[in-house]
Amino acid sequence: MRVIKLGSKEEKKVYAKKYYQQNKTELLRKQKIYARQNREKISLNKKKYRAKNRDKYVLYNREYYAKNRTECRKLIDDWTKRNRKKLNEKSNEYYHIKADKTKIEARYKAKYYGVKKSFCEKCGAINLLQNHHPDYTKPLFTITLCEECHLNIHGKKGV
C-alpha cells in the first residue's frame, strides 16, 4: 500500500473524488453489503439524526412540497389508493376502539352544526383555518385558529 501525503483540503478533495471515480463499482458493492448487514443499526442512527434535526427536515419538506405540489399530491393519492384497506382498518380501530367518544361527537357536531370564522381568532390569519375545542363537553364552543396557532396551543412546534 502506498502512502500519499496531501497538504491542503482541496488536494484531499481532488484525490478523494479521483479515487471514488476509479473505484466506484467496488465501493458501491461494499456499501450495499454493509447496508444489508447493518440495517437495524443504520435505521436507528437515521431515527436519532432525524429527531435531532427535526426542524431542518420539516422546513425542507415544506419547501419541497411547495415547489412540487402536483407531483407530491399524485404520489400521495397513488399510495392512498394502494393502501385503502389498511387506512380503513386504522380508521375503524381509532373510531370504534381507541377514541374517546366525547371527542368524536364534539368534532362531528362542530363540523356540521358549529360556526367557523373566516380568520384566526389569535393572530388574524386567513389561511389553513381549523377549529379548536378547549372543552369537548361543550361541542359547539370552538375557537377558529390557523394551523400554526393550533399547533402552538397543543404544544407542538409550528415552523
The domain ranges of the chain are: 101-159
CA 73 to chain centre: 14
pLDDT of residue 34: 96
Segment 105-113 shows an average pLDDT of 82
Contact by Cβ (8 Å): 132, 105: no
For residue 139, give the C-alpha cell.
361541542
Residue type, 29: R
- Mean pLDDT lowest among 22-26, 41-45, 92-96: 92-96
Contact by Cβ (8 Å): 148, 142: no
Confidence class for position 42, pLDDT limits 50, 70, 90: very high
Segment 49-60 shows an average pLDDT of 93
pLDDT of residue 159: 44
DSSP label of 157: P
